[in-house]
Amino acid sequence: MKPSSRPFVAAKASLIGGRDCNQDRCFFLDSGDSILLGLADGLGGHPRGEVAAQLLQDVSETLFRREDKPLAEPQRFMLRCIGKAHRAIRRFGQRQAPPIVPRTTAVMALIQGGVAHWVHVGDSRLYFIREGRVLTRTRDHAHVEFLHRSSEQGPRARASLTRCLGGLDEPPLTTCGPPTALRPGDALLLCSDGLWGQLNADALVSLFDNRGESLEHRLPHLVEKASLMPQSDNVTAVALQWRHPANPIDNPAMTTESRAADRPSPMQPTESEP
């Protein structure tokens, strides 16, 4: 995955953790002009979450291979993936007897011309890392509840998702991050809650320390560490670190707006978008 001519290094890894089934899916596609990363976490507590996650992967890979590159509108392309996957999940559920409602989260990033674009739905996250710190990350579409346990254990937090693919009739409102010009050393980490829920931000940032082992070796080790913790979930991540010389269109105003990813896109993804 790392020919010397490429302006980046990338890796992906997924483990079942303490679950009976791995409902996570992740993908990485490189056409030369465009790079697409994606991750989906099928929702536990709902039937066939692994199918919902797989459908996001299948739809995204199919659309990516069909489109001319570089993509004219990267953000709109990812919204099309979300919309088509949502409807594919709904159709699959309605064909079952009795009908079911599979659901999944989604987070995707697309890089073209040294500029990263990203979108997300749910609580699978994207971390944008620069110079050894998290410059920004996506904000979960979830309400956090605190469940009171025994006095010795204290309260326990539980997140309840407010958006996902496959739930309601219409595709979910999708949050879109600002186009961000990449500098050498910048990194993107897409991960399910099985990773970020078990490890702190410092552990995630350390993944991109260029000393010692390569990213392809470090990422599986980090995923395994999270998977071995008590009550672990499925653990999945896709990581990319940029190596190309600084892009002349770099815009510091874009890359420092850490809350820009909180602003929902004004449009919902639709299957009929061109």
Return the pLDDT at 156.
52
By the 8 A CB rule, do 138 and 175 touch?
yes
By the 8 A CB rule, do 232 and 15 touch?
no
Q: Bridge partners of 96?
A: none
By the 8 A CB rule, do 75 and 141 touch?
no
Global pTM? 0.85
Residue boundaries of the structural domains of the chain? 8-262
272/84 Cα distance (integer angstroms): 9
Q: What is the pLDDT along the chain (274 residues), one digit of tens a residue?
A: 444 578 999 999 999 999 999 999 999 999 999 999 999 999 987 889 999 999 999 999 999 999 999 999 999 999 999 999 999 999 999 999 999 999 999 999 999 999 999 999 999 999 999 999 999 999 999 987 544 444 444 455 567 899 999 989 999 999 999 999 999 999 999 999 999 999 999 999 999 987 778 999 999 999 999 999 998 999 999 999 998 764 444 443 332 222 223 333 434 443 333 2
15/233 Cα distance (integer angstroms): 9
Residue 219 token pair: 């990422």
Return the pLDDT at 266.
38
By the 8 A CB rule, do 72 and 79 touch?
no
CATH of domain 8-262: 3.60.40.10
Return the pLDDT at 158.
61
